[in-house]
Every structure is written in C-alpha cells, then in structure tokens.
Structure 1
Amino acid sequence: MCLIALAWQHHPRYRLALIANRDEAHARPTAPAGADPEDPQVFGGRDLSQGGSWLMVSARGRLAAVTNVRDGRQLETAPRSRGALVREFVRGSMSAEQYLETLRAPAAQFGRFNLLLWDGAQLRFGSNHPPAGHGPFQTFAVAAGVHAMTNGAFDAAWPKSGLATRALSAWLDSPASRQPPLRGDDGAPSSADPGLAMLLAAMADTTIAPDEALPDTGVGLELERLLSPPFVLGDTYGTRCSTIVLIDADGIDFIERRYGPGGAHGGESAVRLRIGT
C-alpha cells in the first residue's frame, strides 16, 4: 500500500473511514480481495509472493494496513516481509498497542514500514523508519481527525496525500455519507453508489504534481514525478488496486477495485462484514 487517507472518530456514522491505493510491480502475484483461506473472518488481498497483505479487516473488529517507506539513500536489506505484520495482526487478538510493543525489538528485521492498526477501540501507528531524533521505532495513538499515510512520515504533506484527504473530507462532509451506501443483493456495498464512485475516481487521479511540490526521497526527480499522483500509471509498475473501507457501529464495508498494466480494469471485490459474527 502506498497511499492511505483516513478519517478517525471524525464522522457521525463512520468511526473509521479509509481510502487507499496499492502500488506494486504488475508481475507480482496477488490474490484478489477475499476471505483469508486460513481464517474466514478475515478479508483482504494477499501477496502470493511472501504470503502477507497490504490491507486486511476482520469481523472480530480489526484492521491493519502497511506502506513501505521510500528512502533512496539507504539500501533495503531486511529479510522479513512487512506484509506479514498485517495478516498476523488481523488474525490475532492482541490490542494494537500490545502488538506494536512486540515489534519494538525485531523492527529492524522488517522492510521499512509504516503500519496502521485498529483493534476495535484504538487506532495506532508504528514505523521502523522514523524521522531523525525519534529513535529506531516510533509508535503513537492516532488523534481524531483526517490523516494521510504514504511512503514518508505520518501526515507528510505530499501532493498525493492532499488530494486524497481532500476527496475523503469532501465525501464525509456531503449528505451522501450520512446514508448507507447502495448495496448488491448480497448486502455488499456497490461501487455504483455515487459517493463511493466519487472516492474511487479521486484515487484514480493521474495528475503529475509540479516539481516544486515534490518530496525529495533520494530516488531522483524523474521517479518522484512518476510516483507523485494518487494513481501511478505504468506498464510494469503502478497502482494495482484502490480500496475503500468504511467502519460503522455494526460492521465493515470493504470495496477493492483492481487494475492491470496501463491502468486496465481488472475486476472488483466487495463485502459487508458484521462485527462480532
């Protein structure tokens, strides 16, 4: 996952609302969002290369999402996959705070990560690549409000972060967000819902940011430009899926729209999970 905008304890209907894009090599084998074959209460996409995930939810009232941290100045050699953190947490029972504390010692063994965890009560952030002066591991409770998590510091003011948070805020502030989304016969949310369609369209924005607004992550100007939109368009690497997660008092709505090389549509998955079932 490379871009997440989220609203936490900020809306009368949704305790947590999240929109996200996953950028990855198109050749990397991936399972579409669905029930975890080892835990049917867990739903999300799976990385078939390392066995982890970038975003998963559970009917037990849990969510985990991870992004990598882009730093072209440091070679990444850690042996353990950050995607394993997502799947392990949503299938487990530890609180978000407890789980992050277990990562403090082995954090350096994982690829550079930003990790977002919701345990049904608290939303917490953790990272093994914090800003200078914060030590080898950083964790804190996310404050109520609208936030962004990308490939830099939490709430880093990158152009894509601003576009995503503005889109999410506009939808949350609209009357459409006060009503349940349109649903299919199976009860799953439908991307035909005008508000959800608006969010998916915002996450499909391919506008390149102006050079003066780009971050400097050590990968060079050309690559910073390529990676600057919410939706990264490419034939070998790019946005693989966009996801919407809406958590209300009773359940979790989850929609994943997938893409192939050049932004070709690759299908959708959707589910409504009742919390506690």
Structure 2
Amino acid sequence: MCLIVFAWHVLPGMPVIAAANRDEFYDRPATPAGPWLDAPHVIAGRDLQGGGSWMGVSLVGCNGPRFAALTNIRAPEERRLDAPSRGALVADFLREDVTAPDYLRRIVEHGDVYNGYNLVLGDGESLYWYSNRGGADPRNGQPLERGRIYGISNGLLDAPWPKVLRTKAQFASLLCQGAPEDAYFEMLADTTRAPDVRLPETGMPIEVERMLSPVCIETPGYGTRTSTVVKLYKGMEPELHERVVQPGVVEAQ
C-alpha cells in the first residue's frame, strides 16, 4: 500500500473510512481481497510472494471488527535485501485477537528487523499509527486524535507530499458531500503528476520521483495494482471494496 487517506471518528456511526492505493510490481503475484481460507474472519488481499497483506479488516476482536494498513517508507539507501516482508505486520494483527497497544508493544520488543514502514491499526474504539522510522513524532505509537483526516504515502504520517495533500483535500470534500463510493475510486484513479518543485526528496532520481508522484501510478512494470475503500461501522460488519485498476496483476488460481 503506497497511499492511504482515512477519517477517524469524523462521520457519525462510522469510526473509520479509508481510501487507499496499492502500488507494486505487476509480476508480483497476489490474490484479490476476500476471506482467507486459513483465517475466514480476515478479509484482505494477499501477497503470494511474502504471504502477508497491505490492507484488510478482521471481523472479530475484543472491541469488534479491526482494521490494518501498511505503506513502505521510500528510503533506497536504507533498504536491506535480507529484511522480512513487512506485509506480515498486517496479516498477523488481523489473524490474531490482540489489541493494537499489545501488538505494537510486541513489535517494539522484538526489535527493528524490517525495512521502513508505516502501520495503521485499530478498531472502532482506538486507532494507532506506528512507524519504525517515526521516533521523533509524538504521535508515533500513540492513539490518534479523533475527528481528523490523516494521510500517508511513502513518507511519515501527514508528510506534505503532493499526492497526500491532494487526496486529503478531496477526501474531506467527498465526506462533506456524502459522496457515493464511486467518487472515492475516481479520486484514487487520478494520474496527474506533481510539479518538480513539489516533489519529495527520497534519494531517487528526479525522473523516478516524477513517475511515482501521481495518486495512481502508471509505469512499465510497476504501478497502482488495486484501489480499496474500507468502512468500519459502529455495531455493524465492516465493508471492504476493492477494484483492480491496472493490467498485469497475477492472481491465484
């Protein structure tokens, strides 16, 4: 998952509504979102190479249904080829009946074995953001403030990347309008590139930063694979709707 915007206790009766794009190489195999055979209470897409996931919901939990999402930190100079798949952080939380604070405590106790990531997880009562590169941010690992809209791409929470600023503003407008679900998917399909002066500096060549700057990425071999909208309701089962937005996805048979 490389872009996610989410509202936390902004709409009555809907603690969480999130809209996200997953960017990945087209030849990396994955299954579409749905219940997992080995954990039917989990509804998520699945990375068949690493075995984890990037975003999903669990139908069970001590405080009701739970939600988790992940984005990678873009820092090529720090990337370790021997690091484990970060998708396990989402998959393990959704499979287990564990609270977000207990799960985060366990991650910290086990040490930093992953490449850089952002992790959002919680339920209708509490929602947390944690990054193994976000130690200086006072929100890191703490309950997020209610009544706000947040955004993450491949930097830290609310880093002012063009795609984050753009989608947060559009997301807020759609929430105020009571827009239909199709409008959120239209927002996620935006292929507009950002001006060079607004591009983040992540250690990638400027040509690559340009290609990766849209909300919806389209490049040879790599791009936005799926768009997802998740809704956690109060007293109701959650909804997860996914659309494949780019050719080249390899699905399980």
Give me the TM-score of the superposition, normalised by structure 2.
0.91
- Cα separation, partners in 2 of 1:2 and 1:175, compared to 1, 3 Å: closer
Q: Higher mean Cα deviation, 237-246 or 159-168?
A: 159-168
Q: Is the 8 A contact 1:18 1:246 kept in 2?
A: yes
Flag the 1:56–1:107 CA change in 2: closer, same or farther, 3 A: farther
What is the alpha-carbon distance in structure 1 between the residues aligned to residue 137 and residue 80 of structure 2?
20
Query: Unpaired segments of 5 or more residues in structure 1?
Result: 177-194, 268-277
C-alpha distance after superposition, 1:140-176 (max 9, x if no partner): 2111200001111111111111121122211110144
1:235-266 superposed Cα distances (whole Å, 9 cap, x missing partner): 300000000001111121111001334xx899
Q: Is the contact between residue 67 and residue 151 of structure 1 (CA under 8 Å) also seen in structure 2?
A: yes
Match of 1:58 in 2: 58
Residue 107 of structure 2, aligned match among 98, 103, 107 = 103
Aligned equivalent of 1:192: none
- Could you list the runs of 4 or more consecutive aligned residues of structure 1 that deviate by over 6 angstroms after TM superposition? 264-267
Alignment partner, residue 20 of structure 2: 20
Q: Which has the higher contact order (CA 8 A, sep 6+)?
A: 2
**Aligned residue for 2:167?**
164
Pick aligned residue for 1:83 from 84, 87, 98: 87
Residue 208 (structure 2) pairs with residue 253 (structure 1): no
CA distance, structure 2, for counterparts of residue 63 and residue 197 of structure 1: 21
Please point out which of 204, 215, 224 is paired with 1:239: 224
Structure 1 counterpart SS, 2:10: coil
- The answer on whether the counterparts of 1:258 and 1:266 sit within 8 Å (CA) in structure 2 is no
1:139 aligns with 2:141: yes
Pick closer, same or farther for the CA change 1:42–1:13 going to 2, 3 Å. Answer: same
Q: Deviations over 1:57-111 (max 9, x none)?
A: 0111111111100013323245211100101101111110110010113342122
What amino acid maps onto 1:213 in structure 2?
A: R
Distance 1:265 1:10 in 2: 34
Q: 2:149 is matched by which residue type in structure 1? A: V
Query: Displacement, 1:134?
Result: 6.1
Query: In structure 2, do the counterparts of structure 1 residues 220 and 106 end up closer, same or farther at CA, with 3 Å as the change threshold?
Result: farther
Indicate if the aligned counterparts of 1:78 and 1:110 stay in contact, CA closer than 8 A.
Answer: no
Give ranges in structure 2 of 5+ residues lacking alignment.
none
1:120 offset after TM fit, Å?
Answer: 3.6
Distance 1:260 1:142 in 2: 33
